[in-house]
Amino acid sequence: MNLYAHRLYLIPFLFCFLFSACKKSEVPETPVIPAITISIEPGEVKLANDSFFGARLTVKIQNLLSGESDSVVWSSENPRIARVTDEGVVWPDAAGETYVLATLVNGKGVAKCKVVVTDGNDYKFRLVLKDKGQSNLSINNPESFLSPKAIERRRKRNIPIDASDLPISPEYLKAIQQVGGTIVAKSKWLNTVSVNCTDEFLIDKYKALPFVKEVILVWEGKRKEVTTASKYVDVPQIGANRTPGASLNYGSALTNISINNGQALHNKGFRGEGIDIAVIDAGFINFKTNPALKNVNVKGAKSFVYENDNPYSVDSHGIWVTSCMATNQPGNYVGTAPEANYWLLRSEDESTEYPIEEDYWVNAIEYADSVGVDIVNSSLSYSTGFYYPYTRYKFEDMDGKTALATRGANVAASKGIFIVNCAGNENTWVGTPADSPHVLTLGAIYSNLKISAFSSWGVTVDGRMKPDVVALGGTASVINESGNSETRSGTSYASPIMCGLAACLWQAYPKLTNEELMEVIRKSADRAGKPEVPFGYGIADMQKAMDLSKTITASR
């Protein structure tokens, strides 16, 4: 064997030796430990904001070592949209998208679940402004924002036209609209703007506006479908409402009138002629087709409720209330001011109970002022009935200057308007705007002159007695939707019965101021010498009121 062949013979042995040596010296591998994995099931949930149900989430953990804790901490990236309990139940709070997290307490894993919250609700916010900003109008040219009748009322009562009469800056309104939503009410007197929007988080953007002082949620409800129905166009109703003759056959309304000796005014020809009365109420369904109201002189009608702009399309309450004053059907039914002129203004949304109704009410009375009304009847009251507990009024709020509607009434009175309001039917302290010192508040009595069981009464925080006076409200006669008379009970009817008589009294003695008119009616009542709850000053007598008015105005 040659040397080359010998070497070839040795190669397999050498390879074997080297391979064996390498294998014996190799370090054993460390076993690979699988990573802990954590997931949430389901991985995504969809919830409706108006639902009563949440969604239960579960955690799945893999590769957890023996002895390690499987506890997790639940959290939400945006608890304003969705919150999660310690047990992993997620609840919707607002429309939007966020993530719920489950984090292992040992910090070795975290999982996410996408949460989508849908919202079928709309929201209304009241923006309280720091000021009204610069108006493009001037108090030197009031014809651009007040009617001739409104200007004349101020002139006759020596009431100056001032900055409170000017509207809110159009630049402010434009900025609010650019944020989003629709302006549904505004008050130039109280510096407020109310908006309706589909996104509740717009509240943050409204608050960021430099001229906004505060933003308050005043309504929340199901979004209504947008209709293509045409907007309501108002057409006045010119009624032949004169009642010739020295005496009237009141028909079924006789007791309404006679309790307060209203015939004493009517028999002298004072039946409301030339007086404009605004009725702020819940709706006047089919008023114009009501056979008993066909000759009522209606100067105009308007709805301030955002969802429905037709004042004649809903609710009978305004029919019952207005009929107590305006009906002029001798032998059948004659109201307390059959020859007055009327403005029918809807501010009450009977379908819900939210503070936005006060915004509508203030909007309505500002409108009433701008068209020049003399008297406002409001058979509405707000106290403890709002859905949101934090918006419900307490007795301490009824101080005549705090509640929104009360503040609006106070300004209206300063413009020379005489306001009559029901006391309420809760048999407890009166609500707003009845607590105003500038509002004649009416309690209810039965035909036997006893106080009605439901009539609200009390002494306000600042020591004033309410109601001021009383009128028939227990089984009062009204006209219904069909044009027939029926009886109904509530301070809602005592208020217009007295309001109509006040209109006739003011017709008789137009030199009285609105404050003097209130005082005359109080002093004419049967308990004027010693007012007492629940009657207040008691049952007003129109003959005595005329005598007092004559004395006051004799030297003018």
Res 4 pLDDT > 60: no
Q: How does residue 3 score in pLDDT terms, banded at 50, 70 and 90? A: very low
CA distance 474 to 434: 19
With bands split at pLDDT 50, 70 and 90, how would you rate the model's confidence at 106? confident
What average pLDDT does the segment 280-285 reach?
98
Query: Which CATH number is associated with domain 254-553?
Result: 3.40.50.200
Q: What is the DSSP string of 44-55?
A: EEEEETT-S--E
**Pseudo-torsion of CA 29, 33, 35, 39, nearest 10°?**
150
Average pLDDT rounded to a whole number, residues 89-103: 94
Alpha-carbon gap, residue 191 to 407, rounded angstroms: 11
Structure-token match 């030796």, residue found: 17
Burial of 269 (0-12, 13-18, 19+ CB in 10 A): middle
- What pLDDT is attached to residue 26? 60
Helix (H) or strand (E) holding 155: helix 148-156
Mean pLDDT score, 60-72: 89
Domain 37-118 has CATH 2.60.40.1080: yes
Distance CA 115, CA 58 (A): 14
Percent of the chain with pLDDT over 90: 83
CB-CB contact of 73 with 106 (8 Å): no
pLDDT, residue 9, reads 44
pTM of the model: 0.87
CATH 2.60.40.1080 location in the chain? 37-118
In this predicted structure, the answer to whether residue 466 has a pLDDT above a threshold of 70 is: yes
Q: What is the mean pLDDT of residues 205-227?
A: 91
Q: Dihedral sign for Cα 291, 297, 299, 301, please.
A: negative
Give the least confident one: 8-12, 80-84, 134-138.
8-12
The residue-averaged pLDDT of 149-167 equals 96
β partners of residue 197: 123
As a whole number of angstroms, the distance between CA 94 and CA 200 comes to 7
Whether the pLDDT of residue 457 is over 80: the answer is: yes
Which segments of the chain belong to CATH 3.40.50.200? Answer: 254-553
Q: Residue 107: pLDDT above 90?
A: no
Q: What pLDDT score does 303 carry?
A: 98
Give residue 228's pLDDT: 56
State how far the Cα of 507 lies from the Cα of 192, in Å rounded to an integer: 35
**pLDDT at residue 504 is higher than 50:** yes
Give the H/E segment covering residue 500: helix 491-508
- 435, 428 in Cβ contact below 8 A? no
Does residue 229 carry a pLDDT above 70?
no
Q: How many Cβ atoms from other residues are within 10 Å of residue 402's Cβ?
A: 15
Task: Look at residue 1 and tell me whether its pLDDT is greater than 50.
Answer: no
